[in-house]
Structure 1
């Protein structure tokens, strides 16, 4: 089982020659897809203690769960942001992190409108090296292919990807922080989706692009931006 997704992630932490090459997708064969879908889901939790920024993913899920438990659905960016702020204020772990940057509503709306394009532009404009940009882009672009697969298999391969990032001597500490914060939120988001009994939540490109945009500042901003873009995309 663990071998199924290895090919999907093997190239993710490898440098790509062209900084602007953001079109590669990691394929999965039909036979591999059928094998994954035929297996029983392995019951695991979403954590990765080796990822120093794992708490961002856990906080993301806690706040999202609290938000979706509310009976009133907000339709405007101001209303969604206000409710996220109210819930976040009660989250002790989040309050212990560096304060998030003020949300850029215009950028969030752009992410909601054109999430894939914005993900590419966010990475292109980031201070990361070409290798780090491509590694994060290819990882984020692979997430949709994993939705619906047993979470245990997906989790183990994301852990492998993160181990490759942690051990990559070419990436700076700041590049690792951005990538590992983003991957932590993606990993926990996929777990949230797999456990959601009413199946009314799916991890969107907006959710991931928001995470990357926010991670360029800090973990708290990554959580807030990911939640805001993801919830607005869903609404």
Structure 2
């Protein structure tokens, strides 16, 4: 109970810090008729997802990033590959992505090779690379702080029941989506990252691959680093980094 209470306390503080102070309540009330119906339907669907322990959040327009992360990961692990280098893992992830029809929905260039040096630096020192990636991004100062807070809070969610984790993340995502001070680019980076975190943490609880995969800090930092470029890079960099770290831990 103490862990859950701390988790919820940090979540509350995080949401407050990521919520716009300039939302006009009069405008909000004026749109209440339509918005309340939409929000009600989304809340009902989210409640069903929590009950059934699935990771989707239909309200997040970048939800596909997390889904593809898990789909590609599942295919990779099912192949039982024994690759030991970043380049080898990257090549196989790219091959799997090329065969996945949903990847085409991202409408993004996939031909750029993985940044091996960047991934190695994340593996060597994920915390430092996280700070560096966020600091050097094009996000606004407020969005940088919001994303940093989320990534730090995620460390406390790893040992929670997934229902608690899921509710925490979708509440956070809601606060980001309704923040009128965040730019579209801010929201794209944050919501792509949160989607990958939400799905990757779910994968830890999903048999039969739970013994072969454990999400890690490097996996999530790879997602942040890649999201600054685009959604596909977020997915691939998160996967490659996470797989490499899991391989090293198994040796």
TM bucket (normalised to shorter chain) is 0.7 to 0.9
8 A Cα contact 1:42 1:151, kept in partner:
no
Task: Return the match for 2:144 from 125, 133, 140.
Answer: 133
Deviations 1:82-127 (A, max 9, x none): 1101110111111221124432111011001111110011111111
- Structure 1: 5+ residue runs without aligned partners? 16-40
Who is 1:29 aligned against?
none
CA distance in 2, matches of 1:55, 1:128: 22
Superposed CA RMSD in Å reads 1.8
Matched, 1:175 2:186: yes
TM-score, normalised relative to structure 2: 0.79
Deviations 1:41-69, CA, capped at 9 Å, x for gaps: 95321000000000000000000011111
Decide which of 52, 56, 64 is 1:47's aligned counterpart.
Answer: 56
Cα offset for 1:143? 1.8
Which residue among 11, 14, 35 is the counterpart of 1:12?
14
Instruction: State the TM-score, normalized to the length of structure 1.
Output: 0.84
Asked whether 1:121 is paired with 2:132, we answer yes
Structure 2 counterpart SS, 1:140? helix
Larger helix percent? 2
Residue equivalent to 1:146: 157
Counterpart CA distance in 2 for 1:217 and 1:114 is 20
Match of 2:211 in 1: 199
Work out which of the two has the higher radius of gyration on C-alpha atoms and give 1 or 2.
2
SS of alignment partner, residue 146 of structure 1: coil
Task: List alignment gaps of at least 5 residues for structure 2.
Answer: 19-49
Q: Which moved more, 1:46-55 or 1:145-154?
A: 145-154
